[in-house]
Amino acid sequence: MLRYRGANPFDEKPHIFSIAEAALQDLRYNQRDQCVIVSGESGAGKTESSKILLRYIAAGLAHQKKLVDIQNQLLLTNHIMEAFGNAKTIRNDNSSRFGKYMDVQLNGQEEPIGGEISTYLLEKSRVVHISKGERNFHIFYMLLSGLNPTQLNSLFLESDPTKYEMLSKSGCFEAGRDDKQEMEYMIRAMDSLSFSQKTQESIFKCVAAVLLLGNLVFGKQEGQTGQDKASCVTNMDVVTQLASLLSVDSDQLCKSLTNRSIRDSAKKSKILVPLDVQESAYSRDAIAKCLYERLFFKVISQINEKLNANKSKSKSFKIGVLDIYGFEIFEKNSFEQLVINYSNEKLQQLFINLTLKAEQDDYSREEIAWEGVQYFNNQPICEMIEAKNVGLLSLLNEETTRPGEPTDLTLLEKLDTHLSKNQHYDSYCKTKNDKRLVMAVFMIRHYAGDVIYEVDGFLKKNKDELHKDVLYCLNASADPFVKSIFPETDSGDAIAKRPDTLATQLKNSMVGLMTDLSKKNPHYIRCIRPNHNKVPKQFDLEYVTSQWRYLGLLENIHVKRAGFCFRKEYHLFLRGFGMLCPKTWPNYPGTPREGVQMLMEHLKIPEEEYKFGKTMVFVRKPTIVMQLEKLKIEIKYRLAIKIQAVWRGHLAKKQYKRIRSKCIIIQAWYKMVKNQQKYLLQRKCALTITRVFRGHLARKKFKKLLAKLPRYASVAIQRSVRRYFARKMIRNIKHDVKRADGRWATIKWPKAPSKLTTASDMLLLFYRRIKALQFRRKLDIDDAMRQLYKFRILSRDLLGQKAAWKVSLKVPMTVDHIGGHDLKVKWPKLGIHERVDRAMPATKLNRHDPVTEQPRFIILTEKQVVVVDPKSWSIKEQIPLGDISEISVSKFRDGLIVLHCEHSKKGDLLLRNDELVVDFVTQLYQSVRAFREPKLSVQEM
């Protein structure tokens, strides 16, 4: 398996693993869903091939426990499905008697993360009708061989299969497999797929009930007038066992087996109609088939619930594996063989449309010189079977549902009437000289050969009718599992919808399957049966030749050899192989076709090895494609090494910075801890010395006072202590008030003793009132000083966070910071006749080269900002106040100013004045606000 993983399909020998790897590679490169169609005759090895294919896909590259569990679950589903859906036939010991389509969901790493199984038309008639030399479904024999006597007794069963009518009819009980061991495998698979013990017991009870249903015997009911045709069950002990297994009432079950009810809509009541022996036996068989079919679909539903529970909501892709029953030709062919062969006709039609027809249509559409290859097209056969109104299935449904008494012979007459002109249909009425065609048969010339079908039982099998009384009886079961597979309830007066016939179900399921397959990229596994005898190492050349002829493999080989092995749209080809040419990688500016042509010329591929169509490029030999793939792998390898080097360098730098930052943090913490320890030690020493000295003074003072105090001095001591605390509080308040100075509004008032809290609060109130009064009196000044205060407050609001704001408070409030000339004489010479709000020297920075500096005078008037050259006394730039949209100022001590101008051709103005930056920006903000309505934005960098 590892040999094929990631390998080119042309590099290794043909194998199922190679097809699986091709599907995975197409999914990887083209990001589209895939499907693998496994087809061939019955007994050719389709089931085993699909298991090998599934094992390769499920293997994946997963190492996580969850993904490994999902892989095991996908593989274990085969044990359950083969037990319930496979049986031994004349041509195959492990023949699939149902169609299986499994979707395996893969994530971006091609690891299986879920799946879903769809089944098509289980051959349920096998439950009650088996041909000689064949076996019933495997589960019946596995149940009898794999359970111990105690478990069999609880199910009312014996280990001898000859005791059961459904198994003993064919006289065949062995199928070349160990049923006991297979039972163990199946139980282990159910445990892995989370089938509870109770669910498993219910499943085994249903299987046992199907076996016991076959042992029911009916006889004529006697002794009652008017009911001579009525039947009754002669072995009521079996009914009791059935009722116990299905958890229903035994009387009600017996009644539903031997009677059917008809609803009288006029009287709104039910009329009980007894069944004769033959009708009761038919009802018994219908119940057995229905119970087994619904049990089978319920088991598949349980499997899907477990597989779907693992599905991810992230982006994923699917690979579908189709394993459907193979083409069958027996001595006696009935409705079941028609169903199987029609399914194979549809698959063969899909194969033709997607390979032979599609490939030749590509050459015609792309205008590639091509000589067409003739092949057998089975489209007319499919149309004859499924055509609306006049097709075989439509005629079968029409005859099944029409009023009156239709029979199988009337069906044959209708087929002769409508299909006799079709070259693929034949019967006795059409060709009387053919000895194979007798009265009650018809023949269809299938793509795989002529098949003669006996019409006996066609209508009954197609109708597959089951009385509602049985469904209602089983719906009343006390077992939730049985109740879930029989959800029908008695709806009173409601008219129940007629169920679809098997022909309708077949047609709808085939339409759905073909639609699903056509949406995915197909791959094919064609299984060839080597001989008729089911023995190894025996090769029947004539038989094998007939198979690959009718499968169309010869025509397919002719098309592949005469045509081109590889084709791809130009843009996809360029996206896949563009890296092989420096001119087309990573992006080609021209058309995709020109890019592909340049790529081919760069690689020096001979012109006869490829052709250009309208939208696609065609490559003739697989060696060219292999060469391109190898070159692509080499270049990807080199690119991967470069990416690894860059990524590893990035990781190393990142790790170095992380380690360096951690070392700095460790150093900082270490120094901090050392300094803290040193400080705490010094503080502890200082406090110890202070405490000892104060204690010494206190003891000395206490001794002096003790000698002077009278005998009873407690009141005096308390009074002295209180006075001491009061004086101490006053001293603290005086000290804090002096320190507060102008910050009286935010002063931190010293904490007072509990007895002096009220007095302290009153002092604080008086202090704040006095200070507030003094502040208000100081504010009672002339208008110029008031304007100055307003100006300073505005500058604090705008640039209070700037480091140079406090320094700006010491700068005198002056309009002209240039000096040397009278203002009234100076400005008119420059053509400035409006009011000048501020004039200051500054350094103009070049916006392209900030290192270059030029001295300038900046003049702010009521309408504009003028930049003047101090040497020539000429105007270098005039910026109207309306054009200034924003001012940017550094938050540090430097005086960098950026005036953002919307309509200036020269761009933003960069100035610097470390001393007057705050005053100038504040004045400019005032002037702009007076000049226009939108306020000027001041941002700190």
Q: Which residues are catalytically annotated?
A: 42-43, 47, 92, 95-96, 326, 328
**In this structure, what DSSP letter does residue 90 have?**
S
Question: Cβ distance 90 to 131 under 8 Å?
Answer: yes
**In this structure, what DSSP letter does residue 354 have?**
I
Strands 317-323 and 34-40: parallel
493: Cβ contacts below 8 Å, ≥ 6 apart: 263, 265, 268
845: Cβ contacts below 8 Å, ≥ 6 apart: 852, 853, 896, 910, 911, 912
CB count, 10 Å around CB of 729?
A: 18
Nearest CA to 277 out of 292, 258, 296, 291 is that of: 258
Give the CA count within 13 Å in the CB-facing half-sphere of 660: 6
Question: Cβ distance 321 to 101 under 8 Å?
Answer: yes
Give the CA count within 13 Å in the CB-facing half-sphere of 593: 8
Q: H or E stretch including 860? A: strand 853-861
Nearest 5°: the CA angle 917, 918, 921 is 80
Question: Cβ distance 326 to 43 under 8 Å?
Answer: yes
What are 87's two structure tokens? Answer: 């049986």
Question: Cβ distance 922 to 794 under 8 Å?
Answer: yes
Place of tokens 């089931």: 47
CA distance 856 to 842: 5
Place of tokens 């700006």: 808
Rg (alpha carbons) of the chain, rounded to whole number: 50
Question: Cβ distance 135 to 170 under 8 Å?
Answer: yes
Output helix, strand, coil percentages for the chain, rounded to the nearest 5. Answer: 55, 15, 30
Nearest 5°: the CA angle 461, 402, 415 is 70
CA distance 53 to 9: 15
Task: List, in sequence order, every residue forming a beta bridge with 610; answer none if it has no partner.
Answer: 619
CA distance 398 to 608: 58
Strands 566-569 and 521-527: unpaired
515: Cβ contacts below 8 Å, ≥ 6 apart: none
Strands 864-869 and 874-880: antiparallel
Q: Determine the 3-state secondary structure of 841 from DSSP.
A: strand
Give whole-number Cα distances, 350 to 497, 558, 564, 671, in Å: 34, 19, 21, 81
Task: List, in sequence order, every residue forming a beta bridge with 231; answer none if it has no partner.
Answer: 220
The dihedral sign for the CA sequence 278, 284, 286, 288: negative
What are 617's two structure tokens? Answer: 């490029």
Q: Spell out a b/e string for 251-284, using b for 16 or more CB atoms within 10 Å of the CB, else e.
A: ebbbbbbbbbbebeeeeeeeeeebbbbebbbbbb
Q: Strands (DSSP E) along 73-209, which ranges?
A: 86-87, 95-96, 99-106, 112-120
Q: Strands (DSSP E) along 50-111, which ranges?
A: 86-87, 95-96, 99-106
